[in-house]
Amino acid sequence: MKKLSYLIVAALLLSACAKEQLPQANYDIIPQPKEVTLNEENPFELSPKTVIRYEDGLQREAQFLSEYVNDIMGFAMEIQEYQGQTDGIVLKLSPDDFDQAEAYEINITPKQVTVKGADASGVFYGIQTLRKSLPLSPSLRGVGGSKTALSCGTIRDWPNFAYRAMHLDPCRHFIPLDSVKVYVDMLAMHNMNQFHFHLSDDQGWRMEIKKYPELTEIGAYRNGTVIGHNGNLYDTIRHGGFYTQDELRDLINYAAERHINIIPEIDLPGHMQAALACYPQLGCTGGPYEVWRRWGVSEEVLCAGNEETMRFVEDVLNEVMDVFPSPYIHIGGDECPKVRWEQCPKCQAKIKELGIKGDERFSKEDYLQSYVMNRMAKVVEARGRRVIGWDEILEGNVSETAIIMSWRGTEGGIEAARKGHDVIMAPSSHLYFDYYQSEDIASEPSCIGGYLPVERVYEFQPLPEELTPEQQKHIIGVQANIWTEYIAHFWHVQYMALPRMEALTEIQWNNPKERDFEVFVERCRHMRQLYELYHYTYADHIFNPQVWADTVAPNLATRKPITLRQQPAEQYTYEGALVLNDGNLGRGAYNSGRWLGFCGYPLDAVIDLEQPAEMQHVRFHALTNKGAWIYNPSHVKVLVSDDGETFREVAQKEIPISTWADNDGIFAYELDFEPVTAKYVEVVVSGYDLPEDHSGFGNPAWIFVDEIEVW
């Protein structure tokens, strides 16, 4: 008897120990579930014996859960139809329990986990939450037979925005179908429900159109690509590829299973040079045109005065709608230069025929673009779909039914919401994931420029305060974009997306009022384990923050009173003049806050040394990034003064303009002069105009300077 009770006690102790050692699920995931209420009951044990039971219509969801558990824990779960059993993980539809679509509730008791959804999407997001809660560590992964403890309680969750998307551009660099599916998986993991697929551009047409086979026979390939940031050198590698309609249908089904709708974009009437290379008669000049080998904005656009061109676009859109069931069809509308239309007899005749007049806000050609966009919107709406266009389509009189995608900041979105349009916020200031994530761009894979760290994404406020609550309701969603001019491989797409997607999804799903970046980063650490599990490439800057160490040695100018005779450009002013002598150097990212930017007038800084000092040397750094319209200075002058009023020149220097054969980067400029004693020193740095071989020829170049040193 005594012996037996010892045994019982020992067994109890053992099982208690075993329980304590079970790895624990953690509901602190991304996006953060809105309501989590836990209790002290014994946790639910997820083990190889746990069965998934699904209600009618949720079989695929059950399979997803089983697959995810297998990925993480290394065992396949049995799946059965639910027939009132009181154990296992149960998936249920329960629309009456929720007041909005896509919502879910997870109820965890010691014996059973129930995932209830307002709809199948809601159940799917509940499954994503369970999946992301499971502990992931290399020692557990794939070993099979392991168990996890799920704390008991209730999780209730729902999205703030109905439209949650990312975009992908397979035109500048073709992205194979299998990789696009992985992208869809990434969206699903982040509770996104829309995928904006940009299928046509100057550099390549990517969707098979049966009525116009040349679009992919010719238009899907270019015979080389400009090297670097739009210099004068080209490689001679044929680049391209396209998706057949069957492949696209397969992709659409793949995404639909993951509750993601694919929005196709046919970008018009600009960004059409690849189509013009196939059908030159659709352009204003008749060509010839090539599938573009450069980046940027081509002046070769569709001729808006040619009925054949309009029929072509209508046919293409109809075939796109035959393949894509999407309720939204994106028809582009961005970056359409009007230089051809201004000269084209057909376009001008159309303007006359329609009685279009320019006014103080918009040219007659802007209104001609509105005519094209409105006409195509009717084609789309005739089939019960809605059009989305980039915010340029507000320039004119676009119909109120169009959804505006605000990319040049949030201003377009604000204007559109005031006018009654629905709006998707995708501003380049916060949501262009083709920008750098680190200031240390020399250590980054090359990209288009700009600086957009995870912190800045996380700060994004999609509901502008300028709008009334009623107007804010027009902001239906939030989206980030990945353009691929400088992204030639899918690993790089992933690197640009992750972990910025974590910040994006937190805004899309929760739009949190209170934001704590450090707490957020801790939750990102768990997501990182999922990236590792699925072999996703990601940027790791937020996990290993680097301490800034690029400072200059203290010199006569450091932290002395400094004034600028003319302020920098507003968007590159930051803390103002003191950026120039705070001791901190910039790195390659011109918008990191460590560089001041000037365009069209010189940097003219006066430093008060506070007492007369002997000096004979001035040095500063400037950035060259020709693709971003940033050139080296043309001319530098150093002047000194005893009273801060009368200045005398002590040194000056001409600097030759950087050519496309020269490297971009950060360069030091130094001026030596005879020793001079003075209390004030003035440095004047002038810039070039963009040269003839630059796409922005005739405009002033930018100059960016980080720090001025004097000794």
Q: How far apart are CA 112 and CA 90, in angstroms?
A: 8
Q: DSSP for 386-426?
A: EEEEEGGGGTTT--TTSEEEE-SSSHHHHHHHHHT--EEE-
Q: Figure out which of the listed residues 31, 33, 305, 389 binds Zn ion, where binding follows CB under 5 A.
A: 305
Q: How far apart are CA 667 and CA 685, in angstroms?
A: 14
Q: Indicate which of ligand ACM, Zn ion, none lies near residue 550 (CB less than 5 to 8 Å, by partner kind).
A: none
**Residues sharing a CB contact under 8 Å with residue 97, sequence separation 6 or more, in sequence order:** 105, 116, 118
CB 296 to ligand ACM: min, Å: 10
Q: Indicate which of ligand ACM, Zn ion, none lies near residue 347 (CB less than 5 to 8 Å, by partner kind).
A: Zn ion
Of the pair 450, 464, the CB lying nearest ligand ACM is at: 450
Sheet arrangement for strand 88-93:
35-38, 153-157, 104-108, 112-117, 88-93, 51-54, 78-81
Select from 305-313, 620-628, 650-658, 682-690 the region that touches Zn ion (CB under 5 A): 305-313
Contact 184, 258 (CB under 8 A): yes
CB 272 to ligand ACM: min, Å: 13
Angle, helix 345-354 to helix 364-381, in steps of 10 degrees: 80
Q: How far apart are CA 333 and CA 698, in angstroms?
A: 25
Q: How far apart are CA 11 and CA 191, in angstroms?
A: 43
Question: Which residue in 668, 671, 675 sits closest to 706, CA to CA?
Answer: 668
CB 390 to ligand ACM: min, Å: 5
169 labelled catalytic: no
Q: Indicate which of ligand ACM, Zn ion, none lies near residue 346 (CB less than 5 to 8 Å, by partner kind).
A: Zn ion
CB 211 to Zn ion: min, Å: 22
Of the pair 290, 335, the CB lying nearest ligand ACM is at: 335
Of the pair 122, 332, the CB lying nearest ligand ACM is at: 332
Question: Which residue in 374, 362, 381, 363 sits closest to 399, CA to CA?
Answer: 374
- Residue 483-522 contact track with Zn ion, rule CB under 5 A, x = bound: ----------------------------------------
Question: Which residue in 265, 338, 334, 266 sits closest to 301, CA to CA?
Answer: 338
What token pair was written down for 361?
A: 């806000």
CB 567 to Zn ion: min, Å: 42
Of the pair 134, 376, the CB lying nearest Zn ion is at: 376
Question: Which residue in 667, 584, 564 sits closest to 619, CA to CA?
Answer: 667
201 labelled catalytic: yes
CB 214 to ligand ACM: min, Å: 25
415 labelled catalytic: no
Question: Which residue in 449, 444, 415 sits closest to 626, CA to CA?
Answer: 449
Question: Taking CA 263 as the corner, what is the angle to CA 505 and CA 256, rounded to the nearest 5 degrees?
Answer: 75
Q: Indicate which of Zn ion, ligand ACM, none lies near residue 166 (CB less than 5 to 8 Å, by partner kind).
A: none
Q: Indicate which of Zn ion, ligand ACM, none lies near residue 334 (CB less than 5 to 8 Å, by partner kind).
A: ligand ACM
Of the pair 334, 381, the CB lying nearest ligand ACM is at: 334
Quick one: 401 exposed, middle or buried, by C-beta within 10 A (0-12, 13-18, 19+)?
middle
**Residues sharing a CB contact under 8 Å with residue 689, sequence separation 6 or more, in sequence order:** 698, 699, 700, 701
CB 302 to Zn ion: min, Å: 8
Of the pair 206, 594, the CB lying nearest ligand ACM is at: 206
Q: Figure out which of the listed residues 303, 498, 607, 683 binds Zn ion, where binding follows CB under 5 A.
A: 303
Of the pair 249, 346, the CB lying nearest Zn ion is at: 346
Of the pair 427, 586, the CB lying nearest ligand ACM is at: 427
CB 333 to ligand ACM: min, Å: 9
- Residue 255-294 contact track with Zn ion, rule CB under 5 A, x = bound: -----------------------------x----------
Q: DSSP for 183-219?
A: HHHHHHHTT--EEEEE-EETTEE-B--TT-THHHHTT
Q: Determine the 3-state secondary structure of 583 from DSSP.
A: coil
Question: Taking CA 354 as the corner, what is the angle to CA 348 and CA 360, rounded to the nearest 5 degrees?
Answer: 75
Contact 427, 408 (CB under 8 A): yes
Compute the Cα dihedral for 381, 383, 384, 390 and give only its sign.
Answer: negative
Of the pair 334, 411, the CB lying nearest ligand ACM is at: 334
Of the pair 48, 409, the CB lying nearest ligand ACM is at: 409
Q: Indicate which of Zn ion, ligand ACM, none lies near residue 284 (CB less than 5 to 8 Å, by partner kind).
A: Zn ion
Q: Indicate which of ligand ACM, Zn ion, none lies near residue 407 (CB less than 5 to 8 Å, by partner kind).
A: ligand ACM
Query: Of the residues 173, 190, 196, 271, which is catalytic?
Result: 271
CB 349 to Zn ion: min, Å: 9
Q: Give Cα 699 distance to the centre of its chain.
A: 28
What token pair was written down for 331?
A: 């028809």
**Residues sharing a CB contact under 8 Å with residue 298, sequence separation 6 or more, in sequence order:** 202, 270, 271, 273, 292, 337
Contact 431, 425 (CB under 8 A): yes
Query: Of the residues 185, 314, 315, 335, which is catalytic?
Result: 335
- Residue 601-640 contact track with Zn ion, rule CB under 5 A, x = bound: ----------------------------------------
CB 365 to ligand ACM: min, Å: 19
Of the pair 105, 392, the CB lying nearest ligand ACM is at: 392
CB 392 to ligand ACM: min, Å: 8
Q: How far apart are CA 577 and CA 589, in angstroms?
A: 18
> Which positions lie near ligand ACM, rule CB under 6 A?
334-335, 390, 407
- Tell me the C-alpha to C-alpha distance, in Å, between residue 458 and each of 31, 91, 503, 620: 12, 33, 5, 33
Q: Figure out which of the listed residues 123, 150, 166, 344 binds Zn ion, where binding follows CB under 5 A.
A: 344
Q: Figure out which of the listed residues 60, 111, 293, 346 binds Zn ion, where binding follows CB under 5 A.
A: 346
Contact 457, 539 (CB under 8 A): no
Of the pair 408, 515, the CB lying nearest ligand ACM is at: 408
Query: Of the residues 119, 201, 202, 391, which is catalytic?
Result: 201
Q: Indicate which of ligand ACM, Zn ion, none lies near residue 390 (CB less than 5 to 8 Å, by partner kind).
A: ligand ACM
- Tell whether omega for the bond before 110 is within 30 degrees of 0, i.e. cis: no
Q: Which residue has the CB atom at the shortest distance from ligand ACM?
A: 334
- Tell whether omega for the bond before 269 is within 30 degrees of 0, i.e. cis: yes
CB 434 to ligand ACM: min, Å: 9
**Residues sharing a CB contact under 8 Å with residue 500, sequence separation 6 or more, in sequence order:** 433, 437, 452, 454, 457, 480, 539
Q: Figure out which of the listed residues 347, 351, 638, 678 binds Zn ion, where binding follows CB under 5 A.
A: 347
Q: With CB under 5 A, what is the number of residues at the site for Zn ion? A: 6
List active site positions: 201, 271, 335
Applying CB under 5 A, the residues found at the interface with Zn ion are 284, 303, 305, 344, 346-347
